[in-house]
């Protein structure tokens, strides 16, 4: 398993997928395999923060992890890995950009969070409904255009109107998002990268 952790951290896609497939065939506990890959993703995040990796490497790591999940899903049917918490994610109403959002989803999943991805062009009411349905305590809003700021604010306001705001932490992200936009929207924090989203989620979940 330690070799698998290192291979994923080094982004050696072919080796990772071959090793995962072999471990599944050998009857290794799929949750053990999944955990090893998650630990590899943690190392990827650490290398990003250290300036050794960049967004392109994060995207590649997330793609590898998604492939691994696809291999493991049949073996994990009916079983669930322990999760750190539940997060609702989506690109806000009027914005259809999904690359950054998808990267956040992948990195959060790899970090052990249960992620509910609502996709793009998501109305405030849809975010509220999913939070109520899942009981998630973190909401991650993505937007790549300046016109996304008002929908972000409207979503935060909708949470307050629904009585959810005290129990839900809100993070926002996207190319033009800054601390000033965070203040405008009423969000709790903003992040400039997918790894920042993971760090915030971990912080809010107490670890």
Give the closest residue to 110 by CA, choosing from 52, 167, 50, 69: 69
For the record, the structure tokens of 30 come out as 């799929």
SS3 115: strand
Domains of the chain as residue ranges with CATH? 2-72 (1.10.1240.10), 86-204 (3.40.50.280)
Output the pLDDT for position 106.
87
DSSP 33: H
Task: Please give the mean pLDDT across all residues of the chain.
Answer: 93
Output the pLDDT for position 79.
63
Which residues, listed in sequence order, are joined to residue 91 by a DSSP beta bridge? 142
Q: Which stretches of the chain score pLDDT less than 70?
A: 77-81, 207
Give the closest residue to 171 by CA, choosing from 155, 151, 187: 187
Output the pLDDT for position 163.
97
Output the pLDDT for position 207.
57
Full DSSP string of 145-173: SGGGHHHHHHHHHHHHHTT-GGG-EEEEE
Give the closest residue to 120 by CA, choosing from 165, 77, 151: 151
Output the pLDDT for position 88.
98
Output the pLDDT for position 55.
86
Query: CA Rg, the chain, in Å?
Result: 17
Output the pLDDT for position 81.
64
Q: For the chain, how many residues are written?
A: 207
pTM for this structure? 0.80
């Amino acid at each position: 398993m330690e070799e698998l952790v290192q291979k994923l951290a080094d982004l050696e896609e072919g080796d990772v997928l071959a090793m995962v497939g072999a471990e599944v065939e050998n009857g290794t506990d799929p949750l053990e395999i999944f955990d090893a890959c998650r630990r590899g993703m943690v190392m990827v995040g650490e290398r990003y923060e250290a300036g050794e990796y960049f967004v392109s490497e994060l995207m590649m790591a997330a793609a590898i992890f998604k492939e691994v999940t696809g291999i493991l899903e049949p073996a994990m049917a009916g079983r669930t890995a322990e999760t750190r918490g539940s997060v609702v994610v989506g690109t806000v109403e009027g914005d259809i950009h999904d690359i950054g959002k998808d990267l956040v989803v992948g990195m959060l999943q790899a970090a052990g969070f249960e992620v509910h991805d609502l996709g793009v062009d998501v109305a405030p009411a849809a975010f509220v409904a999913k939070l109520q349905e899942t009981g998630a305590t973190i909401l991650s809003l993505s937007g790549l255009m300046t016109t996304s700021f008002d929908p972000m604010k409207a979503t935060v306001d909708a949470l307050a109107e629904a009585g959810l705001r005290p129990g839900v932490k809100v993070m926002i992200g996207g190319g033009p998002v800054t601390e000033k936009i965070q203040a405008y929207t009423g969000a709790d924090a903003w992040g400039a990268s997918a790894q920042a989203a993971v760090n915030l989620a971990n912080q809010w979940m107490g670890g």
